[in-house]
Structure 1
Amino acid sequence: MTFTRYAIYFAPPAKADWTVFATSWLGWDMESGTQVAHPPVDGVDVAAVTKVPRKYGLHATMKPPFRLRDGQSFEALQQACETLATDQAPVTLDGLEIARLGRFLALRPVGDTAALNALAAACVTELDRFRAPASEGELARRRATNLTPEQDAHLIRWGYPYVLDAFRFHITLSGKLDKPSLAATETALQAHLGPLLPKPFQINDLALMGEAEDGRFHLIHRYALSS
C-alpha cells in the first residue's frame, strides 16, 4: 500500500474491551484497515458525530502527520522509530476519562502527565528530520484558527502548532457538536464506554501510521517502549 503521509500515534491495545467499543464507535479499525459497524446507541447518530475523526482511527497523536522529506526513506524512518522506542520507557497514568475539549469529546489522561508529555516531545523532535517542510497552503490553513504567537512558532519550527508546551494528549471521539448533541453524546459515552476505561492507563508502545490515498490511516507497525 502506498502512503502519502506518516504519523506517530498511541494506538490503544487492540483486544482491550474499551478499544473494541471505541473502535466500533468511530467505525474505522486502523489496525486491520477495515470499516466496522457502529454500535446502536439510543438518541445518538453515531455515524454523524464521528464522521470527522473516523479516518484517523482510535488514537492519540504523538507526532502529527507529515510528508516524508526528500532524501529520506521509509526504511530509515522505521529504523528511527525503533531506536526512539528503545530509548523510551513505558508510561503509566491513573486512568482515562471522557472529557469535553471545546465542542468535541475525547478521552483525556488522569494523573501526572509529565512522562507522557516528555514522550510526545521526543517523538516530535527526534523524528523531525524525516518531516518535509509545511507548504504555504498548510501554514495558511493552520493560521486561520487564530494561533497564539507560541503556537505559530511551533508551526514554523515543527510543522504543527500544538506540540511541546502546547501538547494535550487526547483520543478524539467526536467531531465538533452543537450543545444538545454534545450533551447527548457525552451521556451515551459515559454509559457505554465509561465503565470500560482502564485504571491504570498504560502506554507500552508507539505506532507508526500511514495515510492511504483515500485519507484513511493504517497501522504499519508497533514499536515497544523498552528503556
Structure 2
Amino acid sequence: MRYALYFTPPKDDPLNGLASRWLGRDAYTGETFAASSYGEVNAEEQHAVTADPRRYGFHATLKAPFELAASVTENDLIEIAGDFAARAAPFSISELVLGQLGHFFALVPANLYSELQDFSASVVRAFEPLRAALTASDIARRKPEELTEAHRANLLRWGYPYVMDEFRFHMTLTGPVEAERQSAISAVLRETFAAHIGRPLSVSGLAIFVEETRGAPFIVRSWLPLGGAPS
C-alpha cells in the first residue's frame, strides 16, 4: 500500500466535479464516468488521453506516493497530517491557467508563488520521517540516468525528483498528447475549463490519497482543511 499527500479541491467543489468528469473518475467516491465527445475530440480519443491521470485522480502532487516506514501506521499518518493541516494557513493562487508541460496538459499557476513553493516544501519535509526508503527497483523506475543532477539528488534524498526548488505545481489533465493533436486538445481544455482558467484557486486543504495495491486507482482517504478553512 502506498500513500500520497496531494492538493485537490474539496469533494463538492465545482472544479473537482468538472475535472473528475473530464478524467473519467472521481477519486473521492470511485465513481467512473463514460468518455464523451468534446468538439473535434471524439470520445475514444478523450478516453485515451486521460488514461494516465485517471488512475491518480484530479490532484497536484505535494508528497509523491510512498510506502510507510515499518514503525508507522496509517493512523499515525492521519494523526500527523491532521496536526499539520491544522497549523497550516490556507492561501490562494491568484490565477490558474492551462499549461503544457512537454507533451501533456495541466492546470498550473500563472506565475511562481513563493507561498505555494514554501507550502510544498513544508509538506515534503514534514512527512519525510514517515516514508520508507525507496527500493532499488523504485529508483530504477525513475530512470535516474536520464535525470538532471538536481532531480537525481532530490530522488535520492526525498524520494521524488520534483521537490523543493524543482517543484512546479500542476494539476494534470492529460497523458502525453501527440504533436499533431495538441492544438485540438488544448482548445477543448480551454473551453471545458473556461470557468476556472484565469481565476484564483484556493489552497484550503491537504488530501491523503491511497493506492491499495501497486497499479490500483488512487482514492482519497481523508481531506483535511488547512487551519481556518471550512471543513
TM range (shorter): over 0.9
Instruction: Indicate yes or no: 2:161 matched with 1:164.
Output: no
Q: Match for residue 138 of structure 2?
A: 138
Q: Match for residue 222 of structure 2?
A: 221
SS in 2 for 1:72: coil
Choose from 13, 17, 21 the match for 1:16.
13
Contact 1:94-1:200 within 8 A present in 2 as well: yes
**What runs of 5+ residues in structure 2 fail to find an aligned partner?**
none
Shift, 1:143, TM fit: 2.6
Q: Cα 1:31–1:16, aligned 2, differ >3 Å: closer, same or farther?
A: same
Q: Cα 1:112–1:144, aligned 2, differ >3 Å: closer, same or farther?
A: closer
Letter in 2 for 1:74: E
Shift, 1:116, TM fit: 0.8
Coordinate RMSD, CA, aligned: 1.6
Q: Cα 1:219–1:205, aligned 2, differ >3 Å: closer, same or farther?
A: same
SS in 2 for 1:52: helix
The whole-number CA distance in structure 2 between the counterparts of 1:88 and 1:198 is 26
SS in 2 for 1:64: strand
TM-score by length of 1: 0.93
Total equivalences in the alignment: 224
Contact 2:89-2:227 within 8 A present in 1 as well: yes
Q: Cα 1:145–1:39, aligned 2, differ >3 Å: closer, same or farther?
A: farther
Higher mean displacement: 9-18 or 134-143: 9-18
Taking every aligned residue pair, what percent have the same amino acid on both sides? 33
Q: Match for residue 173 of structure 2?
A: 173
The whole-number CA distance in structure 1 between the counterparts of 2:197 and 2:85 is 25
The whole-number CA distance in structure 1 between the counterparts of 2:40 and 2:211 is 32
Q: Cα 1:103–1:145, aligned 2, differ >3 Å: closer, same or farther?
A: farther
Contact 2:8-2:16 within 8 A present in 1 as well: no
SS in 1 for 2:96: strand
Shift, 1:112, TM fit: 4.9
Contact 2:152-2:161 within 8 A present in 1 as well: yes
SS in 1 for 2:52: coil
Shift, 1:21, TM fit: 1.7
The whole-number CA distance in structure 2 between the counterparts of 1:147 and 1:46 is 30
Matches within 5 A, 1:1-227: 4-44=1-41, 45-144=45-144, 146-197=146-197, 199-213=199-213, 215-226=216-227
Contact 1:88-1:225 within 8 A present in 2 as well: yes
Contact 2:210-2:219 within 8 A present in 1 as well: yes
The whole-number CA distance in structure 1 between the counterparts of 2:184 and 2:144 is 30
Shift, 1:11, TM fit: 1.1
Shift, 1:141, TM fit: 1.8
SS in 2 for 1:195: coil
**What runs of 5+ residues in structure 1 fail to find an aligned partner?**
none
The whole-number CA distance in structure 1 between the counterparts of 2:154 and 2:205 is 25
